[in-house]
Structure 1
Amino acid sequence: MFESKKQKQYTVQKIRQTVGKAINQYNMIEADDHILVAVSGGKDSLALLEILSCRRKALPIHYHIHAAHVITEDVPYQIDVDWLSDFCNKLDVKLHLIHTKANLETAGNKKPCFACSRNRRKELFKLTNELGIKKLAFGHHLDDAVETLVMNMAQHANISSIPAQLEMFDGKIQVIRPLIFLTNSEMKHYALIMGFPSLKRECPYEDHTIRYKAREIVEQMTELNPKARINLFNSMNKIDFEYLP
């Protein structure tokens, strides 16, 4: 589908405004904040980094942005680090490259993907603390939240998901998710317009089976009701406890 320059500009503006809405609603970013953005190399984290950088140019307040990418040396997965470094330089963002190992041989019964993901988060929390930064930003969006809700209900028998913001370690670190009001489709569209390359290459250990199943369930519900996706997301703020067993 062909889009005019004007249409693309409107889409970019609308998506950036939606990010601003989430930031303002949850008071995610304040003047002189230092924010560490976790960059996996996928479209969502690249978009988040770019949007936060562009947004601060238009605001009367200033905040500092750092980017972090975790290189797990014993996992056959990599991104184009040179491109990412150049991207961060253009955005005036300091890039931190963390070299680590997942030590999969000591993961026990845990799947390699789980062990690697857990180790990456550990390294990000560690860096955030070492830099004296309080806010850690992830590129999770609305679809991630809805799929996680479905997964947790089916797999763990609880109603939980990924919150827009979450204080951890007795308030020392605050996790924020500025893309939480945007869908996967919108993020794909934004990445296409901005011309982001596919830096992230699929890891052979990665297991998406459960999440794919949850995504299929959401898609099936959307066929019944086009508003099902957003309704599922909004339902997390409208729990009627008196009508539950």
Structure 2
Amino acid sequence: MIAGLGLTGTAAAATTTPGTATGTAATASLPAVLTKNRIYRSGTAGPLSCPAPEIRPGSAASIKRFQQALARCANRFWATRFKAAGLRYSPPKLQITTGSRSVCGTITANGAQYCPQQRTVAIRIMKRDLRDQIMMNLAHSVAHEWGHHVQELTGILDAQNTLYWRSGKTQRAALSRRLEMQAECFAGVFYRSTLDSLSSEITWVQWIDGVKQSRESKVHGKPRNLAYWQDRGYDAASARACNTWTAPNARVS
């Protein structure tokens, strides 16, 4: 299963990491599903209206409604991109809870995970979410996990999983970072289309600066690289920018 990226500071986000992780430096031996995936040819995304209800201080119910609305928006967005790439899109299930259990096990303190076998995004509303309701933090639990769902539907997760189990410890860590940073890039593509329609209290530049200042994760990699891939997807407005598999090692460390 895939479970949890946690960003702290201005940008705090929860996401997913599986018992599978992502690749190493670009080599000719990498499968085409990683390096030449059809989702990279899904074109440039235009603006998408993404109305979401207001988040009320201390209200778990309002956070849940916000994330449910954002999930509907993510499904609309990715269905369009998949169609443009000649691919079939199906939405994941969504489980939002204040508890610690999901359909694929325990939800970590990071707060969100993607469960590939169940094709479910599981989000845990944490106490910190009730205290510090920065909209982008709550949005990222959806945006990043949907990035993993895109990887599942396009065969990227399966290909990465195969490489992972054939690799040593160091190579597994590198594969994990490439997987997570690609999900960050996919989130950036989604944000480019939808952010203007959301009432965010911080700008995109402030958000990216916050990501850069977040704590480092062995699974997800250096904050500056997480910020790089998110910003790369945002700037390109296209999944073509999100091929982390052939990127230099320094960009996925």
Q: TM-score, normalised by structure 1?
A: 0.30
More strand per residue: 1 or 2? 1
Which structure carries more relative contact order (alpha carbon 8 Å, separation 6+)?
Answer: 2
Higher Rg of the two aligned structures: 1
